[in-house]
Structure 1
């Protein structure tokens, strides 16, 4: 009987883990629109910008591989904004 509870508990944990993976990050470069002014000028990034950079961090390599997005994402200012937000720039 105790083993059955353990099995049910493990199944619940696995299901919860799968739900988190399924919810994951949706890579949408438009999510970084709140960072445009910080990247294109010398204004500091907003809290929203920083939260979006952290949220989209798993997508940054994908953005860097896209020629249309690379010139926006791979700039000294974009790197500075990421650093200011405490998000290390990825090495892809």
Structure 2
């Protein structure tokens, strides 16, 4: 592979990473996960996609006392793991 091709590949990966980081943090986006977190219902595909989307925001939600008990619950972590999105270390 030529140096110019490598540089373009690196630039594309960097741009993709920047796009994935630019998420609007909104706890309402996790509303599709409420039933999975508060009961033993498996998470829906929508719930899993929203957890993946909101993962960069989870630590921010943990700082909010109202959201913390919801987001930090053992069942919320279980749902995130089931969705293939391990909870971040905050």
Fold-level match, TM-score > 0.5? yes
Identify which of 29, 36, 39 aligns with 1:38.
36
* Counterpart among 26, 42, 45 of residue 47 in structure 1: 45
Query: CA RMSD, aligned part only?
Result: 2.4
Render the CA deviation track for 1:55-82: whole Å, top value 9, x for unaligned. 0000000000111100100001101000
Q: Number of aligned pairs?
A: 81
Selected match of 2:65 from 64, 67, 79: 67
Structure 2 SS opposite 1:44: coil
In the TM superposition, 1:1-92 aligns within 5 A as 17=15, 20-21=18-19, 24-92=22-90
Shift of 1:45: 0.1
Distance 2:79 2:56 in 1: 16
Report Cα offsets for 1:6-61 as digits up to 9, x if no partner.
9xxx8xx69xx4xx55x810000000000000000000000000000000000000
Q: Which has the larger radius of gyration?
A: 1
- Unpaired runs of 5+ residues, structure 1, are 1-5
